[in-house]
Structure 1
């Protein structure tokens, strides 16, 4: 009969530290939630550098979101993954105050990344008052659920070599919207308060080379991390100036 020796405590600690380093979330966990080893660590998150401001998540936030994330992972295995994940998201934001409590009040523009894998990306995006994001695509399906504030989306369509506005979707707390794989949208927070939404993508959002469009000329260009980084930076700087006035 084969015997299996228990891993040494030092080995377990080394593995856990390595996983936390790979996750890059600033966590100190005694035990990792079950979904991490099977899903989140499939892809390293060291290169989250499309320009977005990444906000470290806390252990409490991750634990509070564990059931929701596990439900999304299971739903993503259904025959219609976007619709199944949308149902999970709709349930999650149907009580916006509970979701806000789990994720935490937004205090800056940025993303709290709860899951990154080859099959699924989940993050909470927070927009400062009156923040705008230029037209861009994802090249994968997306579901968006708002848990505080409001997010206005302009849906764009290609017309020959140009973009033209095709639809407008105003999302309030508790609302959920879907975006197709080829969708192009721009985002505005029209309020004098923060907006927070859960964004779920059917793939590795951070490993996909996407496009963005100049907000004035609507000229298509490769997604530029420096440009996007500057948008988040200026939004946070403007917010701090408003606080100090």
Structure 2
């Protein structure tokens, strides 16, 4: 039986042992090997949201529930992350900065679809956008190697792909609309 308290403790132990995403990826991978147990512990998603499960200066764990068809603009984290899908699907487009662009534009550099039971580590410098392409809610555990809610980072305008300061209040509003 999966338990959020044990999961937090396992993530804490992993980053205390190794401050990179590698050992946390093992913890998330183990959890995603039984996505039904994660769903049972957290409850079947009924509405979108960004629900903090744990927060400290070096570790944040969030239950992210994506609305059907929802897309969030390209953004970075300025810290590593490990994403695990316990129900639904999350499509990620990975971006890279256009060399010598004075406006900080980005261009697509790859993509990865994550489905129920999948997990993926994201390095500190990753820029990505996320879409829930299916007609139901998607539930995901996002583990970050820092304080996700307080970190200074960037987002990119989805139309012209220029860089701006990340606006957490705008992101939270996207999940609550």
The alignment's TM-score, normalised by the length of structure 2, stands at 0.92
Q: Does 1:154 align with 2:154?
A: no
3-state DSSP class of the match of 1:76?
A: helix
Residues 193-239 of structure 1 deviation map (CA, whole Å, 9 limit, x = unaligned): 110100000011111111111111111111123432332233xxxxx
Work out the CA distance in 2 between the residues paired with 1:110 and 1:99.
17
In the alignment, what sits opposite 1:71? Answer: 10
Q: Is the 8 A contact 2:149 2:168 kept in 1?
A: no
1:9-24 equivalences under 5 Å are: none
State the match for 2:164 in structure 1. Answer: 221
Q: Does 1:206 align with 2:145?
A: no
1:32-52: CA deviation from partner (whole Å, max 9, x where unpaired): xxxxxxxxxxxxxxxxxxxxx
1:131 and 2:70 aligned: yes
Which residue does 1:195 correspond to in 2?
Answer: 138
Change in CA separation of 1:225 and 1:205 when aligned onto 2, cut-off 3 Å: closer
Q: Note the aligned Cα RMSD (angstroms).
A: 1.4
> In the alignment, what sits opposite 2:119?
176
Which one of the candidate residues 144, 165, 182 is aligned to 2:83? Answer: 144
Q: CA deviation at 1:66?
A: 0.7
In 2, Cα distance between equivalents of 1:226 and 1:76: 28
Gapped runs of 5+ residues in structure 2?
A: none
1:80 shift after superposition: 5.4
Query: Closer, same or farther in 2 for the Cα pair 1:213/1:79, shift >3 Å?
Result: same
Structure number with higher helix proportion: 1
Q: How many residues align?
A: 172
Structure 1: state its 5+ residue gaps: 1-62, 235-245
SS, match of residue 6 in structure 2: helix
TM-score (norm 1): 0.68
Q: 2:28 aligns with which of 89, 111, 123?
A: 89
Rounded Cα–Cα distance in structure 2 between residues aligned with 1:178 and 1:102 = 23
Structure with the bigger RCO (C-alpha within 8 Å, sep 6+) is: 2
1:78 Cα shift? Answer: 2.0
Cα distance in 2, alignment partners of residues 230 and 67 from structure 1: 30
Q: Which of these residues, 32, 41, 46, is aligned with residue 102 of structure 1?
A: 41
